[in-house]
């Protein structure tokens, strides 16, 4: 089968490798849609692991079923998540499945930018979801990233009617805007430096957009009756974005650190100002649970979140390198979907 082998953001090579063999309890899935995630382009994180096949936002068709599998059959259309929890450790039973040790070690083989993947038994059990007939493969590839967004807003104790500032209007920021709008947020504003993304943020639910190089805290307060944001969601890894978030949050508000940064980035904080006088909550989130994935799929099925409106490019496997370049250098691009069968 063909795979797109990752060596760096500027070096992805179309190569051949054997179709994975499956065992008892496993599935072989032919991938029809695989999204490029912002985390895929973190070269500093990948450098010690290359070469490898990336891609974890996948949907496809079951083409082979391992012995003992009863929940899936050949021909089923599915979305598959790479990270799944054990569901029995301290973290899982206390509702923190996404910091489970097992979740951090699970995956499918070899990765989403390939024609086929082997789905291990644990992923079959709690990380594979049948797609309703009304949900396309490309919509199904949003189950995993949308689950992460739902988890994040849950961690941030999102409340209907709250004011929201989304810093960064890439794909994660846009999904946060859509989810906040669908869940009943009051005033929503967003930032970015790319005009195309700023317009998309308005289209998908933001009422105001600000250039990221402007005085965002002042502009938000001006648009929000003089108050800061009840919830600030950081979807950009630049230190300036973090500084804007800390200066934009309202008293008793929450800052959700959703995007990752480079490992050397630290946050300067006035402890009294944030944690004593103003009761500000700083929180983070990682990944999504099986329950989050089910909710994500249901929201897509119900038409509550028009995720396909974020797709700007659909590329064949041979053009995965171009897709990475579009993510690294965004101008008129947001979500890039790789179609391995093309």
So what's the pLDDT on residue 321? 97
Q: Is residue 149 part of a domain?
A: no
Is the model's pLDDT at 219 over the cut of 80? yes
Out of 240, 259, 284, pick the residue that ends a domain: 284
So what's the pLDDT on residue 263? 87
Answer yes or no: do 116 and 198 share one domain: no
Q: Is residue 111 part of a domain?
A: yes
How does residue 47 score in pLDDT terms, banded at 50, 70 and 90? confident
pTM of the model: 0.96
pLDDT tens, position by position, 94-135: 999 999 999 999 999 999 999 999 999 999 999 999 999 999
Structural tokens at position 262: 């480079």
Look up the domain containing 102 and give its range: 2-144+287-339
So what's the pLDDT on residue 267? 81
Answer yes or no: do 209 and 301 share one domain: no
- How many separate domains does the chain show? 2
Mean pLDDT of 233-258: 96
Answer yes or no: do 102 and 23 share one domain: yes
So what's the pLDDT on residue 297? 98
Answer yes or no: do 291 and 320 share one domain: yes
Say which CATH number the domain at 211 has: 3.40.50.720
- The answer to which of 130-139, 267-276, 321-330 has the lowest mean pLDDT is 267-276
């Amino acid at each position: 089968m063909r795979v797109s082998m990752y060596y760096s953001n500027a070096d992805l090579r179309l190569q051949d490798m054997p179709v994975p063999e499956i065992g008892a309890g496993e599935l072989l899935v032919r991938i029809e849609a695989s999204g490029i995630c912002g985390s895929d382009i973190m070269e500093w994180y990948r450098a010690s692991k290359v070469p490898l096949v990336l891609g974890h936002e996948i949907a496809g068709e079951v083409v082979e079923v391992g012995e003992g599998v009863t929940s899936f059959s050949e021909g089923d259309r599915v979305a598959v998540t790479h990270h799944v929890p054990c569901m029995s450790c301290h973290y899982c039973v206390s509702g923190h499945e996404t910091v489970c040790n097992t979740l951090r070690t699970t995956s499918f083989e070899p990765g989403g930018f390939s024609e086929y993947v082997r789905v291990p038994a644990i992923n079959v059990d709690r990380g594979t979801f049948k797609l309703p007939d009304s949900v396309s493969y490309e919509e199904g590839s949003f189950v995993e990233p949308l689950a992460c967004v739902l988890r994040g807003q849950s961690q941030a104790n999102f409340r209907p009617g709250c004011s929201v500032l989304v810093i960064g209007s890439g794909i994660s920021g846009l999904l946060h805007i859509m989810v906040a709008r669908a869940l009943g947020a009051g005033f929503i504003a967003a930032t970015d430096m790319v005009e195309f993304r700023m317009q998309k943020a308005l289209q998908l639910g933001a009422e105001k957009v600000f250039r990221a190089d402007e005085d965002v805290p002042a502009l938000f307060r001006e648009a929000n009756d003089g108050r800061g944001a009840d919830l600030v969601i950081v979807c950009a890894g630049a230190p300036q974005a973090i500084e804007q978030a800390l200066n934009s949050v309202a008293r008793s508000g929450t800052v959700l650190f959703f995007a990752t940064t480079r490992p050397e980035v630290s946050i300067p904080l006035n402890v009294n100002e944030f944690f004593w006088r103003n009761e500000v909550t700083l929180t983070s989130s990682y990944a999504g649970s099986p329950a989050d994935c089910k909710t994500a799929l249901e929201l897509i099925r119900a038409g509550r979140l028009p995720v396909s409106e974020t797709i700007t490019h659909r590329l064949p496997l041979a053009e995965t390198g171009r897709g990475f370049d579009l993510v690294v250098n965004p101008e008129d691009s947001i979500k890039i979907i790789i179609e391995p069968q093309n």
